[in-house]
Amino acid sequence: MTDEWDCELRKSNTSGSTAFLVLPFDPVEILGSRRAPVVVTVNGYSFTGRVQMYGGVPHVAMRKEHRDAAKVEPGSLVRARLVINPTPDAVDVPPELTEALSKVTGSLAAFAELAPSHQREWARYVADAKQEATRRRRADKVARQILGG
């Protein structure tokens, strides 16, 4: 069984910068699920996602940051490798966020109760800051916000 395919990278028809890798196969037959968690590799760059169905067409969303790293543009045909993600809910929490959550009573438990997708977004918000001071400021903000403060 092959795990590499030529996929169209199609721009979303909604506002925003998301594009989709259109999968030229039935995900149930190849991956075992219509919403399979996958690791996608394009031009040596890998990212995680889930297969989605839109209008009966299987695809994987490819955000701008991933397209930039893989050096691909919407409208092109790209060679993509897809494999099942063995740890689909793993979240890489930056140390600044872990520290901030441990300082605010109840925030660590509240963070743990969030869906993995929300945990990833908060973690990315903190980790994307270039300066340590900004990461710490953002982490402190997250620790308060997830408690509704």
Q: What pLDDT, on a 0 to 100 scale, did the predictor assign at position 53?
A: 92
Which one has a higher pLDDT value, 148 or 22? 22
The residue segments making up the domain with residue 115 are 95-145
With b for 16 or more beta-carbon neighbours within 10 A and e for fewer, the 7-43 pattern comes to bbbbeeeeeeeebbbbbeeebeebbeeeebbbbbbbe
For residues 21 and 64, membership in a common domain is answered with yes
Number of domains the chain is built from: 2
- Whether 80 and 136 share a structural domain: no
CATH number at residue 48: 2.40.30.100
Question: Domain boundary residue among 63, 84, 105?
Answer: 84
Residue 15 within any structural domain of the chain: yes
59 domain residue, yes or no: yes
Greatest CA separation for the chain? 51
Is residue 46 over pLDDT 90? yes
Exposure class string for 51-90: b at 16+ Cβ within 10 A, else e? bbeeeeebbbbbeeebbeebebebeeebebebeebeeeee
Q: Are residues 80 and 115 in the same domain?
A: no
Residue 90 lies in a domain: no
33 and 54 together in one domain = yes
The answer, yes or no, to whether residue 16 has pLDDT greater than 90, is no
80 and 104 part of one domain:
no
- Is residue 79 located within the same domain as residue 109? no
Name the pTM for this structure.
0.69
Whether 16 maps to a domain, the answer reads yes
pLDDT score of 82 more than 90: yes
pLDDT band at residue 37 under the 50/70/90 scheme: very high
User: Mean pLDDT across the stretch 95-121?
Assistant: 93
Give the pLDDT band of residue 89 (cuts 50, 70, 90). Answer: confident
* Average pLDDT score over the chain: 91
- Residue 73 domain-assigned? yes
